[in-house]
Copies of this chain bind each other. A is one copy, B any other.
């Protein structure tokens, strides 16, 4: 199982390395920052889910799905660069290394973030495999994940919560916008690359949305309970923010995550796919934190 997910992660990292512009070409510092932000110690959870769903659906367009999975990771890393900026979370550490703006300066970091977003769309639009319609559908799914109902909204609301220290009314919404929707989109993209029916697409979307919710809850738990050596991020960065862990406590959070994983597997069972590998991957991802 460790080997199994490590293999996917390696495959994605190798393809990202090919798709990202070389750091000694053209505008070298932006290129270097794009590579730095994408090729660090990320767990590649979103693109791995994308690949696993596509494989469970028969793996008909592996090259399209791999490029689309890389696009999802680029979108994710692009959003992390912005989240960490001085005018946003003002973070110093991410994935055990300096945040991109600490390493390259704010202006280069912003350009790298925009460069990654642009490259994500380019990779899908110019992929040689898959129908034009499938590629447009994947682009539209990414649009929804990024836009005013996705990551951008999550960031705005998150900032507002942080600034005003508001009550814990909107944790589910923020978790959905900041994490759930890109998980959901990643998995849905895997099913679209495989030509799945609208029903399967929607079930897969809901499945991974629940996984994203559980992931965010566990991430907040880790932030609260683990050392910087484990998280690779600044400690206590969430202290001013409303998270489930902060408002409901550690045990309630574990329960909530467990419930979300059950709901996720319920959705997955509607998809008529051999979901053994997906369930094993998800189980492994959470076992350390939610098992008794």
Q: Which residues of A contact B (CB under 8 A)?
A: 21, 25-27, 29-31, 82, 85, 87-88, 105-108, 110-111, 113-115, 117-119, 121-122, 125-126, 131-133, 135-136, 139-140, 143, 146-149, 152-153, 155-157, 159
Q: List 20 A-B contacts (CB under 8 A).
A: A21-B148, A25-B148, A26-B148, A27-B148, A27-B152, A31-B148, A85-B110, A87-B106, A108-B156, A111-B152, A111-B155, A117-B117, A118-B152, A119-B143, A119-B147, A121-B121, A122-B140, A125-B136, A125-B139, A126-B143
Known contacts A21-B148, A87-B106, A87-B110; can you find 5 more A-B pairs with CB under 8 A? A31-B148, A85-B107, A126-B140, A126-B143, A132-B133
A117 to chain B, nearest CB (A): 6
What's the Cα separation between A122 and B87 when bound, in Å? Answer: 27
A18 to chain B, nearest CB (A): 15
Given contacts A118-B143, A132-B133, A140-B125, contact A156 B29 (CB under 8 A): yes
Q: Is the interface of A mostly helix, strand, loop or mixed?
A: helix
What's the Cα separation between A45 and B125 when bound, in Å? Answer: 27
Residue of B nearest to A147 (CB): B118
> Ordered nearest first, which 8 A-B pairs have the shortest CB separation?
A132-B132, A122-B143, A87-B106, A27-B156, A125-B139, A87-B107, A27-B153, A118-B146
